[in-house]
Structure 1
Amino acid sequence: MTLAPDQIERDVFQYQRMRDVAERLQDSVPGKLEITLEGIVHDMMSPGGPHELTAARVSRRLEKVMPEGLLAHTGTPDVEDIARGVLRHPDVMVISEKDMEVEGPFDPRSLVAAIEVVSRSNPDNDWVGKIRDYPLLGIPLYVIFDPRTGEGAVFSEIHPTASGPRYASRKDFVYGEDVTIGEWTISTENLPRYS
């Protein structure tokens, strides 16, 4: 789909208004706010122990096998594409230290991979919304760890479709197996599950 310049400006203006609302609300609501093509997404619960422990263990395991200069970052800032009207916050971002030397949100195209730990309160955000948004943002690898089921998936190979860019490849795994993320393989042993 092609947008005329006045449509792009209107979309950027609308996105900026949503971003302003999300920033004002973020400190007064539990959980986190993200902006998608469909509007503001509110993941109502703050991540709990199993969620955060999964992100930390995945991050540490990746950093042990990745080369110097790459990080499996679990902090802020968000990734943002103003032109596409999307603001997301991956649980773990594989990104070079050099690409982190910016003020404000990271450019999503600088990420090597986005990794999400499925939240208990809004699993569709990870299994539906981010599968749509991350290839649109140009993130080449998207990995999901799901503590609800003890399973996950690695999505790769962005290709064009009639409804926009999508991942062409999906490789499922179960906790206990090794998983390959890009060039690196890590164990999924001892990842916590939701009770």
Structure 2
Amino acid sequence: MQTQEEIYRHLRDLRNELGVVSGRYGEISDGEIVMMMSPVPMHAYIARSIARQLDAQLPPPLGAFENADTDDAALGKLRIPDVLVVPEDAMKSVDPLDPHEISLAVEIVSRSNPNTDYVDKVADYPAMGIPHYLIIDPRDGTARHHWQIATQNGHPAYLNQVSYSFGDKIRIGDWTIDTADLPRYSDDQRPA
């Protein structure tokens, strides 16, 4: 019988092969490869805006980066945060990042699959040891910061959360993210 780590490694190899063929790379959680739709340009704009704000505040050796694999093979999880804060040297690897090096993971909620960010990653990120998780939701102009990992019901979970509305300044430790200029999906008035 295969261990969870062996199953994960097989899924990761399969995910990488699928990515070469399709040009898209999925995430892995709970024994499944989760292929995501390509994000809309506004999603990328918000991620870049947040990364720029963080970069202006981060002390060396930290940097804000977009879309990098992070995995915990023992847990069988591979995630790709939209924005992450990590030591710059960690980004020089060809292997997925060690999630324990990540200070903050940010996800921008897609219109098509919000449960991934609000349910699945709220469970996966504390299990992977990521101390701060920020959800930015352009669907309704809200944000939610999760932090302080502890064991609840036998599983790692975030003990604290606070909700924000676009226009608020989000404080995460010594860093501030200003949401005043973040667009909402409803702001896009182009024809579908």
Percent of residue pairs identical: 38
1:73 and 2:65 matched: yes
1:37 and 2:30 matched: yes
Paired position in structure 2 for 1:19: 12
1-structure distance, mates of 2:156, 2:114: 22
SS in 1 for 2:26: strand
Paired position in structure 2 for 1:4: none
Q: Is 1:79–1:105's contact at 8 Å kept on the other side of the alignment?
A: yes
1:92 and 2:83 matched: yes
Unmatched 5+ residue regions in structure 2?
Answer: 187-192
Query: CA 1:30–1:120 in 2, change beyond 3 Å: closer, same or farther?
Result: farther
1:176 and 2:167 matched: yes
Pick from 42, 47, 50 the counterpart of residue 55 of structure 1: 47
Structure 1 stretches (4+) deviating beyond 3 angstroms? 27-32
2-structure distance, mates of 1:26, 1:116: 21
SS in 2 for 1:65: coil
* Equivalences, count: 186
1:107 and 2:131 matched: no
Unmatched 5+ residue regions in structure 1?
Answer: 1-6
Query: CA 1:30–1:173 in 2, change beyond 3 Å: closer, same or farther?
Result: farther
SS in 2 for 1:160: strand
* TM value normalised by structure 2: 0.90
User: How far did residue 101 of structure 1 move?
Assistant: 3.6
Pick from 108, 113, 122 the counterpart of residue 117 of structure 1: 108
2-structure distance, mates of 1:13, 1:188: 42
- Deviation per CA, 1:155-181: give whole Å up to 9, x if none: 000000124100000010000110012
